[in-house]
Amino acid sequence: MTWIFVLLLVTGVKVPDAEQIVGQPQGPVVSGPMLDQQTNEIAGLLRCPVCQGMSVADSPSEMAVNMKHQVRELIARGYTREQILRYFERSYGQFVLLKPKFQGVNTLVWILPILALGVGIFAIFSMMTKGGDGQPVDQPSVDEDPYLAEVRKLTGKQS
């Protein structure tokens, strides 16, 4: 692929670069299987804008493939996850982040389930300590099958 780079350099072609938007790479340069793994990881956090909800890592659409290549290239150059996510967020907005940022109103989506857990634990504690005074627990209701009631009486067992 290097010949393309050379050709582009020679012709003066340049595409909008991450540098314009997130500055210099702040992490180490990466290559090899580590590069593949990190590409999949970060591409998994990005939403393919033309598919219905799929991640860039999973989507076969051309747009997603292009984005994945861009992710790979940025990782290889040493950009960190935050920088790469910020780069895509700049063009597409928070829509493209599959993991909601913990910021502003989005914090609610992370906090609400935890709150619900708290409410639930509180509810359980209050139910468990409500406690009666040891009365028989299973009272057959009025419209129970008479045969069953009879048998119950005969066998002397509950339920």
Could you tell me the two tokens for 40? 């999949």
For every residue of 96-134, DSSP letters joined together read GBSS--SSGGGHHHHHHHHHHHHHHHHHHHHHHTT---S
Closest CA to 50 of 38, 67, 36: 67
Measured CA to CA, the distance from residue 153 to residue 159 in angstroms comes to 10
CB of residue 35 to other proteins, shortest distance in Å: 11
Restricting to residues 64-123, which ones interact with other proteins according to CB under 8 A? 65-67, 69-70, 88-101, 105-106, 108-109, 112-113, 116-117, 120-121, 123
Site for other proteins (CB under 8 A): how many residues? Answer: 81
Q: Is 23 in the site for other proteins (CB under 8 A)?
A: no
Give SS3 for 82. Answer: helix
Candidate list 2, 3, 6, 14; residue touching other proteins; CB under 8 A: 14
Q: Which is nearer to other proteins, 24 or 95 (CB)?
A: 95
CB of residue 85 to other proteins, shortest distance in Å: 11
Candidate list 9, 36, 82, 107; residue touching other proteins; CB under 8 A: 36
